[in-house]
Structure 1
Amino acid sequence: MVSVRPSGYALQAMYGSPDARALHALSPAIDLHADSLMWSRWVGYDLHVRHDPPLPWAAIGGHVDVPRLIEGGIGAQFFGLVSLPVGQRRGLAAVIYEQIDELEKAARARPDRLIKARTAADIETATKRGAVAALLGIEGAHALEGEIEQLERFARRGVRYLGLCHFSANEACFPAYGQGRRDGQGLTPFGREVVRRCEELGVIVDLAHINRSGFLEACEMATKPPMVSHTGVLGAFAHWRNIDDDQLRAVADRGGCVGVIFCPQFLGGEGLEPVVRHLRHIIDVVGEDTPALGSDWDGFIIPTRDLCDAARLPLLTDALLAAGFSENVIRKLLRDNALRVIRDNPVPS
């Protein structure tokens, strides 16, 4: 018999109980938002290196890399594409393309570990190969620079969701908080065109950061499931960043999903219990087919201490088991709900 030495990935410490890790083996998690490619573009952050101990700036980044995604039982990671600074109007699309280039370079470097994905079938293929599926989502329609053709170019490069807003108003809509805030104003005519074209292109409409009026208007227009990639919920903690029960119902009524953020500032407390509380509130209001994971790792947040990096995600699964969540519900919020939304927004052939 040939003796096979385990890889460096297998030799790393494992977080979570055997029961939690078994659930992740059955349903490798899908996280809807991490901003790691921003760091790859800025400082050459290598997704294939396990950053342990955490980088000096780990309060705001250094939470995600491929080894820790694998350790944490995460089968697919949406990487948010961020274009800063706030208020800039030109040169933003180029910043998005540079981040896409960074992902493609990382995927070429280790195709056995990281696969650029677009479809649910791509995610399933990556899982069978023991690799992480990497998907792309843009954070803020300002990256379109007011041109609907830019959306089409982004879609051709593999972008799977478009966040309509970030922390400033743009040609499509207005933020829940930030520069150019207008609470009573919904989508602009261009914003409505963007929503329609997203659906035609198979680009999921992401409603994180947008004001309530625009959020509800986009849901009313929707003919395909939207998502909220990373948020908290007002029914669990009152904060401007969080969405209310009517917004939850609007997303759920259209078959969408809502990713719960891992930031204590928006959850209302440290530790795993606040994350569980937000997930439970979503289930209590709209059922088990809506909750998902939206960490916001690497996004200038300090994540809750028990989820300070991707390797620790099974600790949340243990907390869900301890709170009485069934294995079926946990598998839905880890993977199945997000996978359904991806599948129900097919990419045109």
Structure 2
Amino acid sequence: MHGTPEARALHAQYPAIDLHADSLMWARWVGYDLQERHEPPLPLAALGGHVDVPRLREGGVGAQFFGLVSLPIGQRRGLAAVVEEQIDLLEQAVRARPGRLVKALTAEDIEAARARGAVAALLGVEGAHALEGDLDTLARFARRGVRYLGLCHFTANEACYPAYGSGRRDGEGLTAFGREVVRLAEDLGVIVDLAHINRAGFLDACALARRPPMVSHTGIAGAFEHWRNIDDDQLRALADRGGCAGIIFCPLYLGGNGLAPVVKHLVHIINVAGEDTPALGSDWDGFIIPTRDLRDAAHLPLLTDALLRAGLSERVIAKVLRENVMRILSDNPLPTRLPVA
């Protein structure tokens, strides 16, 4: 067991919510079993093997958002079909061990999972290229329980341009289709995720937003300058719309290994954008080597210990662990009835 009794007590009271792990990608490629305990590849815990239900429970994680990746790596059919396959795999994992992992849509579902002693699993698409230029695909994803849509990944798509990668155009914001996607996502209760998008598109989406957006996994340029990280103006624009930013656990974007850089990025968010803005966005299983102290989900209480040592109050830590994401879920309510294709 990792972490002090004080940290573990906080996780018991405020089970953490992580905004991004790519475990379903590995389930699709190599049959990775979310229900079985794995050991991350040592010594670097490289690339994957960071998340499973036993280690989520050990680490005091109450809810995990699973990213639905549809880059052409290993692709068998169209991009939307790849997303659907990963949703199928999550549902299979839920059925395999009833009561340990439950598919969730709302803050209320997360609380219900907690009451049952289960981990809640939520879904987010990484990149609007998965829509294949069709708004009806977004509605279909919403009907299957997708709760956020990342507008971009490492390639340009019909909606926007990446901060880095193929098709990069730094001066261009959302396309006309991208603006339609943002509007429809909000109507469907799908949170707009601004990870990976270029600065112009990010600010466009914040200006357009009627409901709180998020950045599911990112670093902060004010803590460490890097193309992957968002700047203070982006943070303020996000906070002005009531959004949150999940801090990634990758040293490459944090500017160093260990817990101190993670704390530095979280504290910078608080100082610039307020305590309602920071969250956790590990990017576990996402082709990253996580910072050594957070090499898998079981180690998350070590970060809570570090936040306590940094002088953060229990109230603020509760927001970082859980409450900010719960609020954003509630502020992006599902419609009474989703449209039928």
Q: TM-score, normalised by structure 2?
A: 0.96
Aligned to 1:315: 302
Which amino acid in structure 1 is aligned with residue 21 of structure 2? A
The RMSD of aligned alpha carbons is: 1.4
Instruction: State the distance in 2 between where 1:56 and 1:314 align.
Output: 20
Report matched runs for 1:10-29 at 5 Å. Answer: 14-29=1-16
Which amino acid in structure 1 is aligned with residue 176 of structure 2? P
SS in 2 for 1:33: strand
Report matched runs for 1:245-284 at 5 Å. Answer: 245-284=232-271
**C-alpha deviation, 1:84, in angstroms:** 1.7
Instruction: State the distance in 1 between where 2:31 and 2:160 align.
Output: 32
Report matched runs for 1:1-349 at 5 Å. Answer: 14-52=1-39, 54=41, 58-85=45-72, 91-349=78-336
Which runs of at least 4 in structure 1 moved beyond 2 Å after TM superposition?
Answer: 52-58
**C-alpha deviation, 1:52, in angstroms:** 2.7
Q: Which runs of 5+ in 1 are unaligned?
A: 1-13
Change in Cα spacing, 1:305 to 1:57, as seen in structure 2 (3 Å) is closer
| CA deviation profile, 1:202-258 (whole Å, cap 9, x unmatched) | 000000000000000000000000000000000000000000001000110111100
SS in 1 for 2:300: helix
Whether the 8 Å CA contact 2:123–2:148 is kept in 1: the answer is: yes
Whether the 8 Å CA contact 2:39–2:49 is kept in 1: the answer is: no
Instruction: State the distance in 2 between where 1:235 and 1:247 align.
Output: 11
Instruction: State the distance in 2 between where 1:55 and 1:123 align.
Output: 32
Whether the 8 Å CA contact 1:55–1:62 is kept in 2: the answer is: no
Whether the 8 Å CA contact 2:40–2:49 is kept in 1: the answer is: no
SS in 1 for 2:276: coil
Instruction: State the distance in 2 between where 1:158 and 1:347 align.
Output: 10
Aligned to 2:339: none
Which amino acid in structure 2 is aligned with residue 213 of structure 1? A
Whether the 8 Å CA contact 1:262–1:296 is kept in 2: the answer is: yes
Change in Cα spacing, 1:81 to 1:57, as seen in structure 2 (3 Å) is farther
**C-alpha deviation, 1:163, in angstroms:** 0.1
Whether the 8 Å CA contact 1:41–1:98 is kept in 2: the answer is: yes
| CA deviation profile, 1:119-145 (whole Å, cap 9, x unmatched) | 111000001111000000000000000
Instruction: State the distance in 2 between where 1:323 and 1:223 align.
Output: 35
Which amino acid in structure 1 is aligned with residue 320 of structure 2? L
Q: Which runs of 5+ in 2 are unaligned?
A: 337-341
SS in 1 for 2:228: coil
SS in 2 for 1:239: coil
**C-alpha deviation, 1:110, in angstroms:** 1.3
**C-alpha deviation, 1:56, in angstroms:** 9.7
Instruction: State the distance in 1 between where 2:129 and 2:20 align.
Output: 18
Change in Cα spacing, 1:94 to 1:56, as seen in structure 2 (3 Å) is farther
Instruction: State the distance in 2 between where 1:182 and 1:347 align.
Output: 33
Instruction: State the distance in 1 between where 2:43 and 2:140 align.
Output: 36
| CA deviation profile, 1:263-294 (whole Å, cap 9, x unmatched) | 00000000000000000000000110000000
